[in-house]
């Protein structure tokens, strides 16, 4: 019997796909560098739907899944993933997923590519295993971004990610834009502490400094020294501060 699985990333599209296919098993490959908000969404999906999400974490070595995370590997290898070496996806997403699927063939893996995405923008899973079928049910059904959002909203499962994870992905993802990194610096400094320690741990005698966030064009220490995007104390004015003498509009909005 062919079992159906959904590649679950925790984003809008894969959440909608998992909801569209209530009999399929969602499978989430956890790099070990996931944001708490993403992990909370995985747990919320389970709570709301009563379905279990399979979590796979580790690296495949000699046909075995060994317990290692992406941050641990980066520090051991002293090598950051980058635009020219995207080993992170291969080693901590695709290979563990394939290792897991191989033991469950014949199977069908469903991937959340939408109908309104250009065919060449995201190639999806290129896995080719005998006995594994790959399907794109959102595309087959003509679902667009709006349809996916509507499905997530219907189940109160729309991921509402903060600005520093606007495009999802790992905490230390080299695709992050400068503004996302600067937002992390301001809003989740404890995460940036962890990333800065990781970036500094991979430097060695190679004679150049390797940036975790090449799009930001600076080391994490230097990004932290740059002017902030906005003044947080202006946004979160202390409770009891009466300097803002606006008119109160009513009982419910606290203005």
**Least Cβ distance, residue 92 to ligand SF4 (angstroms):** 6
Closer of 19 and 38 to ligand SF4 (Cβ): 38
Closer of 107 and 173 to ligand SF4 (Cβ): 173
Closer of 45 and 174 to ligand SF4 (Cβ): 174
- DSSP letter (8 states) at residue 214: G
Peptide bond into 106 cis (omega under 30): yes
- Cβ atoms 11, 30 nearer than 8 A: no
Closer of 109 and 151 to ligand SF4 (Cβ): 109
**Least Cβ distance, residue 165 to ligand SF4 (angstroms):** 10
* Residue 7: HSE in the Cβ half-sphere, 13 Å Cα cutoff: 22
Q: How far apart are CA 163 and CA 246, in angstroms?
A: 28
**Least Cβ distance, residue 185 to ligand SF4 (angstroms):** 18
Q: For 8-126, where are the E strands, in sequence order?
A: 25-29, 54-56, 59-61, 64-66, 107-110
At how many degrees (to 10) do helices 12-20 and 36-49 cross?
20
Closer of 29 and 219 to ligand SF4 (Cβ): 29
* Residue 126: HSE in the Cβ half-sphere, 13 Å Cα cutoff: 5
**Least Cβ distance, residue 90 to ligand SF4 (angstroms):** 9
**Interface ranges with ligand SF4 (CB under 6 A):** 31, 81, 86, 88-89, 93, 169-170, 173, 175
Nearest residue to ligand SF4 by CB is 169
- DSSP letter (8 states) at residue 71: H
**Least Cβ distance, residue 147 to ligand SF4 (angstroms):** 24
């Amino acid at each position: 019997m062919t079992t159906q699985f959904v590649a679950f990333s925790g984003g809008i599209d894969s959440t909608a796909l998992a909801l569209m296919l209530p009999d399929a098993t969602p499978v989430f490959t956890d790099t070990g560098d996931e944001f708490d908000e993403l992990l909370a969404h995985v747990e919320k999906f389970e709570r709301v739907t009563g379905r279990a999400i399979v979590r796979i974490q580790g690296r495949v070595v000699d046909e075995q899944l060994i317990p290692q995370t992406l941050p641990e590997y980066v520090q051991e290898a002293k090598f950051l993933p980058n635009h020219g070496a995207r080993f992170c996806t291969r080693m901590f997403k695709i290979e563990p997923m394939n290792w897991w699927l191989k033991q469950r063939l014949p199977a069908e893996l469903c991937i959340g590519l939408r109908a309104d995405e250009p065919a060449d923008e995201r190639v999806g899973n290129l896995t080719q295993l005998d006995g594994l079928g790959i399907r794109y049910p959102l595309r087959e059904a003509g679902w667009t971004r709006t349809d996916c959002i509507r499905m997530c909203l219907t189940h109160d499962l729309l991921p509402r990610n903060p600005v520093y994870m606007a495009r999802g992905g790992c905490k230390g993802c080299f695709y992050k834009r400068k503004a996302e990194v600067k937002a992390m610096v301001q809003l989740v400094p404890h995460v940036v502490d962890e990333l800065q320690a990781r970036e500094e741990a991979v430097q060695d005698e190679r004679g150049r400094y390797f940036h975790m966030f090449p799009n930001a064009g600076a080391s994490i220490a230097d990004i932290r020294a740059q002017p902030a995007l906005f003044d947080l104390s202006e946004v979160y004015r202390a409770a009891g501060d009466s300097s803002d003498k606006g008119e109160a509009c009513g009982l419910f909005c606290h203005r």
